[in-house]
């Protein structure tokens, strides 16, 4: 698999994971300690988010200091509080005269069907993710917000596969656009260049992929799915100079990358959410046509890498949870 970069190649961006192997679950902090122009676009019908309203172009705050991605469903939103505490200790945040308020929007995915749901990311986990953050290549697969992720659940969890977290970037004329995606999709994950399904719903015997889109179109009935029990979340970042309105537009077109790599996507049972950060650290910009193309490409490739780097997960039944077997993409090749 050829390397395709990382979001940490964007000047001014650091990434850190916290992984709780007891369940597993975790969270991922994407830091912009110098501040970054922020945007967001929520396309899934069952989102779990925090501080997204402040990113609207007409609202006051211009720059944010981190984005938190977490498992644990709504419980995981607490991880952002830990990031705020860590950033405050570093002297990072909006200057309000008597102190600083770090601004940390967040989004969560539903992974509580994997293991004991009483174990979930909290403020301490968010703090630990920030402590671990650096500009090095982030770990991918079964780590951070992707630790408990699964994909292809539309015909039941027993036919699903392991999801994960992935990152990618593209550089044009000295400007970099990167993405980090925690993929916990209801649908299949496809190679965006070939449209081949690489992970998703499996056949009843579990040995092959069925291609969910084709299965639904020929009349196979999906299993009833709990609303919000999926979700792909992520961050797009660029070192180009962009406005807040442009950051929101890049978050929007980033969903084109999700649509190339996930099918079905943006369903009533997904809370698909993408943030965009613009650090401006390159001191330059490109036209929005190029930046938008770069954003969609980075998202698509990061989504693919999330499942290609994932490893199989086997959890035996316990007092408070069911057994789970999630093969990886490599297991079916």
**Residues of the chain where predicted confidence (pLDDT) is lower than 50:** 1-3
CATH of the domain at 192: 3.60.70.12
- Residue 229 confidence (pLDDT): 77
Domain that holds residue 155: 7-332
39 vs 265: CA distance, rounded Å: 21
Compute the distance between CA of residue 277 and CA of residue 216 in angstroms, rounded to an integer.
Answer: 36
Total residues found in the chain within this entry: 333
What pLDDT does residue 1 have?
A: 40
**Each residue of 25-42: pLDDT tens digit?**
999 999 999 999 999 999
Instruction: Report the half-sphere exposure of 50 (CA within 13 A, side-chain side).
Output: 24
Total structural domains within the chain: 1
- Determine, yes or no, domain membership for 132: yes
Residue 11 falls inside a structural domain? yes
User: Is 24 contained in some domain?
Assistant: yes
Is 1 domain-assigned?
no
Per-residue three-class SS string for the chain: CCCCCCHHHCCCCEEEEEEECCCCEEEEEEEEEEEEEEEEEECCCCCCEECCHHHCCCCCCCEEEEEEEECCHHHHHHHHHHHHHHHHHCCCCEECCCCEECCCCEEECCCCCCCCCCCCCCHHHHHHHHHCCECCCCCCECCHHHCCCEECCCCCHHHCEECEEEEEEEEECCEEEEEEEEECCCCEEECCCCCCEEECCECCCCCCECCHHHHHHCCCCCCCCCCCCCCEEEEEEECCCCCHHHHHHHHHHHHHHHHHHEECCCCCCCCCEEEEEECCCCCCCCCHHHHHHHHHHHHHHHHHHHHHCCCCEEECCECCECCEEECCHHHHC
Residue 227's pLDDT is 65
Asked if residue 309 belongs to a domain, the reply is: yes
pLDDT of residue 3: 47
Q: Is residue 104 part of a domain?
A: yes
151-193 pLDDT tens trace:
999 999 999 999 999 999 999 999 999 999 999 999 999 999 9
The answer as to whether 73 is a domain residue is yes
Q: What whole-number distance in Å separates Cα of residue 281 and Cα of residue 33?
A: 12
Residue 239 forms part of a structural domain? yes
List Cα–Cα distances, 300 to 1, 83, 306, 311, in angstroms: 15, 27, 10, 20
Burial of 124 (0-12, 13-18, 19+ CB in 10 A): middle
Q: What angle do CA 70, 240, 249 make, to 5 degrees?
A: 60
Single pTM value for the model: 0.96
Q: What pLDDT is recorded for position 2?
A: 45
């Amino acid at each position: 698999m050829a390397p395709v970069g990382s979001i940490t190649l964007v000047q001014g961006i650091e990434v850190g994971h916290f992984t709780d192997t007891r369940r597993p679950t975790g969270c991922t902090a994407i830091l912009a300690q110098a501040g970054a122009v922020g945007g967001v676009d929520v396309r899934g019908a069952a989102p779990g988010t925090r501080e997204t309203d402040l990113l609207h172009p007409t609202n006051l705050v211009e720059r944010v200091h981190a984005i938190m991605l977490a498992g644990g469903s709504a419980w995981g939103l607490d991880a952002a509080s830990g990031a705020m505490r860590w950033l405050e200790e570093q002297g990072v945040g909006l200057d309000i005269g008597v102190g600083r308020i770090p601004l940390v929007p967040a989004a969560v995915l539903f992974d509580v069907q994997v293991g004991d749901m009483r174990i979930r990311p909290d403020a301490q986990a968010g703090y630990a993710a920030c402590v671990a953050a650096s500009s090095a290549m982030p770990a991918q697969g079964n780590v951070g917000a992707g630790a408990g992720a699964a994909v292809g659940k539309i015909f039941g969890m027993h036919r699903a596969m392991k999801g994960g977290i992935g990152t990618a970037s593209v550089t044009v004329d000295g400007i970099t656009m990167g993405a980090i995606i925690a993929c916990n999709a209801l649908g299949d994950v496809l190679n965006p260049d070939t449209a081949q399904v690489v992970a998703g719903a499996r056949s009843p015997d579990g040995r092959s992929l069925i291609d969910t889109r084709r299965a639904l179109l020929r009349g196979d009935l999906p299993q009833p799915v709990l609303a919000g029990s999926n979700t792909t979340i992520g961050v797009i970042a660029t070192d180009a100079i962009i406005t807040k309105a442009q950051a929101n537009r890049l978050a929007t077109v980033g969903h084109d990358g999700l649509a190339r790599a996930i099918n079905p996507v943006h369903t009533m049972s997904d809370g698909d959410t993408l943030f965009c950060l613009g650090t401006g650290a390159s001191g330059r910009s490109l036209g929005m046509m190029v930046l938008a193309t770069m954003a969609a490409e980075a998202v698509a490739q990061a989504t693919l890498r999330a499942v290609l780097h994932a490893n199989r997960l086997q959890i035996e039944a316990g007092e408070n949870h069911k057994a789970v077997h999630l093969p990886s993409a490599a297991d079916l090749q």
